[in-house]
Amino acid sequence: MKGKYTKRKLKHQALVMSAYNKTDVHPSTFILIGIPGLEAAHIWISIPFCVVYLLALLGNCSLLFIIKTDPSLHEPMYLFLCMLAVADLVVCTTAVPKLLSLFWFHDGEIRFEACLTQVFLIHSCSTMESGFFLAMAFDRYVAICNPLRHSAILTHAVIGGMGLAIVLRGTALLSPHPFLLRWLPYCRTNIISHTYCEFMALIKIACAETRIRRAYSLIVAFLTGGLDFILIICSYVLILHTVFHLPSKDARFKTLGTCGSHICVILVSYTPAFFSFLTHRFGHHVAPHVHIFVANIYLLVPPMVNPIIYGVRTKKIRDRFLKFFTFSRPVK
């Protein structure tokens, strides 16, 4: 076992040396090395990662099937949830298969174009996820603060328009990222200390001035995730103001209960996202393996947890889940 690990380490060192001796400033391939310092544990780390990924696939595909086939679930919140599920599937499927290939077969090589595609899909779909959270918060705001006009305000046409706007925003603001990275020279190394291609990970190995690119990335992050989060907080401040003016205690608890799933999903998603974003730019004293591990948690855990939270807390979805897996009679 020790000899096998030594050979693997020598192979990795050879890759590093070949990268440093490379004269081409635009390498045709990059080398992903996984989680620095935990290479020996990659095979063990891959087991929970694989299980979580499979659960995310199963949960989100089931959620999409259940909502599509049940007309009673064609409501704004569940339609936005479908959009979120699609974005979750794209994000985790873009990164995890290559990650598992790296952990299981030590296949860290990724073509330059594939790396840039990974950057675009992961960042743009993560931005779309943030937009869908904001849309769901707006739905809760209208449902609680203006319930009589909820169906009139959030028609299917409006929901479709909001979804399209969120997708276009993510595509338009994040499409420059691959081009900003493509024009950079990488004369130092083609080794990426990460499990997938990420904008800041590539910026760090470039041998050119990257201040403008970093500033653009920071502005985009604020205009999407940061602004969305502020607006979500504002919507819940208005919701709480309305709830605490309800006449009965039971009505307050019941109304807050309708927001519980959304709040849980937001916390699960935004906490690792903010940690990863801040440590990449300002957390110079955070150990690399901690940052990269949390970055992988951000890609894996929310897509798995979102269907579970909504499945447990929403009776209609819970009943349909049970029917789907137990082949029982239709729930009336």
Q: Tell me: the pLDDT tens digits for 167-182?
A: 999 999 999 999 999 9
As a whole number, mean pLDDT of residues 38-45 equals: 90
Q: Residue 76: pLDDT above 80?
A: yes
Please check whether residue 129 lies inside any domain of the structure. yes
The owner of tokens 């950057």 is 119
Burial readout 38-58 (b: 16 or more C-beta within 10 A, e: otherwise): ebeebeebbeebbebbebbbe
pLDDT digits (tens, 9 = 90+) for 214-223: 999 999 999 9
Q: Which of 97-101, 116-120, 144-148 shows the lowest mean pLDDT across its residues? A: 144-148
Between CA 36 and CA 292 the distance in angstroms is 8
Cβ atoms 301, 294 nearer than 8 A: no
Name residue 31's beta-bridge partners: 109, 191
250 backbone dihedrals φ, ψ, rounded to 5°: -60, -40
Please check whether residue 7 lies inside any domain of the structure. no
- Which residues, at least 6 apart from 134, have a Cβ–Cβ distance to it below 8 Å? 228, 231, 232
Burial, 93: exposed, middle or buried (Cβ in 10 Å; 0-12, 13-18, 19+)?
middle
Q: Retrieve residue 324's tokens.
A: 């789907």
Please check whether residue 322 lies inside any domain of the structure. no
Q: Which pTM does this prediction carry? A: 0.87
Q: What is the CATH number of the domain that holds 52?
A: 1.20.1070.10
As a whole number, mean pLDDT of residues 220-249 equals: 89
Residue 152's pLDDT is 93
Residue 23's pLDDT is 46
Please tell me the total count of domains within the chain.
1
Residue 6's pLDDT is 42
Between CA 10 and CA 19 the distance in angstroms is 14
Q: Residue 11: pLDDT above 60?
A: no
Please check whether residue 293 lies inside any domain of the structure. yes
Q: Residue 70: pLDDT above 80?
A: yes
Q: Between 103 and 5, where is the model more confident?
A: 103
* Percent of the chain predicted with pLDDT > 90: 54
Please check whether residue 112 lies inside any domain of the structure. yes
Residue 216's pLDDT is 94
Residue 323's pLDDT is 75
Residue 285 lies in domain: 27-315
Q: How many CB atoms lie within 10 A of CB 146?
A: 12
Q: Residue 21: pLDDT above 60?
A: no
pLDDT digits (tens, 9 = 90+) for 273-329: 888 777 766 666 778 888 888 889 989 999 999 888 877 777 778 887 777 667 545
24 backbone dihedrals φ, ψ, rounded to 5°: -75, 120
In the chain the first and final C-alpha atoms are separated, in Å, by 58
Residue 37's pLDDT is 85
Q: Residue 104: pLDDT above 60?
A: yes
Between CA 184 and CA 115 the distance in angstroms is 14
Burial, 188: exposed, middle or buried (Cβ in 10 Å; 0-12, 13-18, 19+)?
middle
Q: Between 246 and 91, where is the model more confident?
A: 91
Q: Which of 13-17, 32-36, 176-180, 185-189 shows the lowest mean pLDDT across its residues? A: 13-17
Residue 220's pLDDT is 94
Please check whether residue 325 lies inside any domain of the structure. no
Among residues 237, 323, 293, 251, which one has the least CA distance to residue 49?
Answer: 293
As a whole number, mean pLDDT of residues 21-47 equals: 84
Q: What is the DSSP letter of 25?
A: S
Q: What is the DSSP letter of 330?
A: P
Q: Which amino acid is at 246?
A: L
Coil, helix or strand for 314? coil
Q: Which range has highest mean pLDDT (54-58, 204-208, 252-256, 275-279)?
A: 54-58
Mean confidence (pLDDT) of the chain: 86
Q: Render 53-91 in DSSP notation, one character per residue.
A: HHHHHHHHHHHHHHHHH-GGG-SHHHHHHHHHHHHHHHH
Please check whether residue 327 lies inside any domain of the structure. no
Q: Residue 3: pLDDT above 70?
A: no
Cβ atoms 253, 156 nearer than 8 A: no
Helices (H), 146-209: 150-153, 156-174, 176-182, 199-205
191 backbone dihedrals φ, ψ, rounded to 5°: -90, 125
Task: Work out the pLDDT band at 116, boundaries 50, 70, 90.
Answer: very high
Coil, helix or strand for 31? strand
Residue 22's pLDDT is 45
Residue 20's pLDDT is 43
Please check whether residue 1 lies inside any domain of the structure. no
Q: Render 197-260 in DSSP notation, one character per residue.
A: --HHHHHHH-SS--HHHHHHHHHHHIIIIIHHHHHHHHHHHHHHHHHTTSSSHHHHHHHHHHHH
Residue 128's pLDDT is 96
